[in-house]
């Protein structure tokens, strides 16, 4: 928290310019769809204003199914299309990643769901799969 206010219109204009000039643009939602960026301006409002699809990232922790379904419903209420749901395996998850995926898939027919296993080796980024193709196919 820097104590500075985000200029909604400037942020949207900057992002629109980036989207127009890049073949792929990823915008990090900084903690969730309902994180406030400014008074009466949530991350979901930002995504909605840009008219771009979202990729929702969740974990496999206890409560992740509820968190995921709630987030997707909230984004839909804002008119945001969701291109995919990514389940990133949580440390010490209460249930296996595959079970989290199955439970979510049951409630989200037709949504592209991607499961990412936790990389145990250090540093993890050296051993991660190249996800560039995944992003380009969304």
pLDDT at 39: 92
pLDDT at 136: 64
**Per-residue pLDDT for 135 more than 80?**
no
Is the separation of the CB atoms in 80 and 47 below 8 Å? yes
Q: What average pLDDT score do residues 101-129 get?
A: 86
Same structural domain for residues 115 and 48?
no
CA 57 – CA 75 distance, rounded (Å): 13
Residue 87 lies in a domain: yes
Range of the domain at 76: 54-133
DSSP string, 56-121: EEE-SSTTHHHHHHHHHHHHHHTT--EEEEEEEPPTT-SS-HHHHHHHHHHHSTT-EEEEEPPP-S
pLDDT digits (tens, 9 = 90+) for 77-102: 999 999 999 999 988 877 889 999 99
**Per-residue pLDDT for 125 more than 90?**
no
Residue 138 lies in a domain: no
Same structural domain for residues 65 and 128?
yes
Same structural domain for residues 87 and 129?
yes
pLDDT digits (tens, 9 = 90+) for 23-73: 777 888 888 999 999 999 999 999 999 999 999 999 999 899 999 999 999
Cis peptide upstream of residue 73 (ω within 30 degrees of 0): no
Burial (0-12, 13-18, 19+ Cβ within 10 Å), 58: buried
């Amino acid at each position: 928290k820097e104590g500075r206010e985000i200029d909604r219109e400037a942020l949207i204009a900057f992002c629109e310019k980036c989207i127009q000039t890049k073949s792929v643009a990823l915008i990090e939602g900084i903690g969730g769809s309902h994180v406030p960026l400014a008074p009466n301006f949530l991350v979901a409002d930002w995504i909605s204003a840009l008219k771009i699809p979202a990729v929702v990232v969740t974990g496999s922790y206890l409560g992740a199914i509820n968190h995921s379904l709630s987030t997707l419903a909230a984004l839909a209420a804002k008119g945001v299309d969701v291109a995919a749901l990514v389940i990133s395996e949580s440390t010490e998850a209460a249930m296996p990643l595959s079970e989290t995926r199955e439970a979510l898939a049951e409630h989200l027919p037709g949504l592209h769901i991607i499961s990412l296993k936790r990389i145990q080796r250090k540093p993890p980024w050296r051993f991660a799969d190249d996800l560039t193709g995944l992003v380009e196919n969304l």
